[in-house]
Homo-oligomer: A and B are copies of this chain.
């Protein structure tokens, strides 16, 4: 497989840096090709705005349509186009980041804000004008694996944990971004207790990462419900006979 590894940590001499080095080496050893977007090393600009397109400042900026037009004209900012080239090449995406304030570091959030533009990752339609999203879309056919580290202990990010269950906390990226754009989203690898990890914990995290990367081509994705599978009604609400009486985020898994 062709694997794009997106890395968002400011310090290569860190647990995250070590896991990235090992993970990319493991993929190469398994026969995959790897390219990286090391966002801190690249000095990635995460701020979506008028500079992404050739915007006439006399007109109010509507970023969605403006990026869609620029994309169609091949006129998006060169750093965005470079990421599109990598994504066109990739069969799988690994997103690695420390969990900051229960989400992605801004530099990675802004990779999605700027790269996942209208007409590319959202606002994509089929021949009948219906939106292609949630299980289908501009990035369909690709696999995605989130690898994140958290200072919190594992139970606090587990079911009924104080911080919220990790898969619910990550729902905006797992479901609302990666699955939205059509990717097959694997269960995330969440390395907890990262601030206090000694050699044994680091070795265990490394082994878990290797296991996940070995299974990258074959592991079952999270069973999120596709929008087109008949589960949702015309108001985009899950039909009552499915997961009756429940309102939690897990109803969006089959």
Q: Which chain A residues have a beta carbon within 8 Å of chain B's beta carbons?
A: 10-11, 13-14, 40, 46-50, 60-64, 100-107, 109-110, 112-113, 116, 134, 151-153, 155-156, 158-165, 168-169, 171-173, 175-177, 180, 195, 227, 232, 235-238, 243, 246-252
Query: Quick check: B249 and A168 within 8 Å, CB to CB?
Result: yes
Query: Quick check: A64 and B195 within 8 Å, CB to CB?
Result: yes
Complex: chain B residue closest to A12, CB-CB = B60
Complex alpha-carbon distance, A237 and B152, angstroms: 12
**So how many copies of this chain end up in the complex?**
2
Complex alpha-carbon distance, A46 and B162, angstroms: 27
Query: Quick check: A232 and B113 within 8 Å, CB to CB?
Result: no
Query: Quick check: A162 and B236 within 8 Å, CB to CB?
Result: yes
Query: Quick check: B10 and A50 within 8 Å, CB to CB?
Result: yes
Complex alpha-carbon distance, A168 and B161, angstroms: 15
Residues of B within 8 A of A173 (CB): 101-103
Query: Quick check: B237 and A161 within 8 Å, CB to CB?
Result: yes
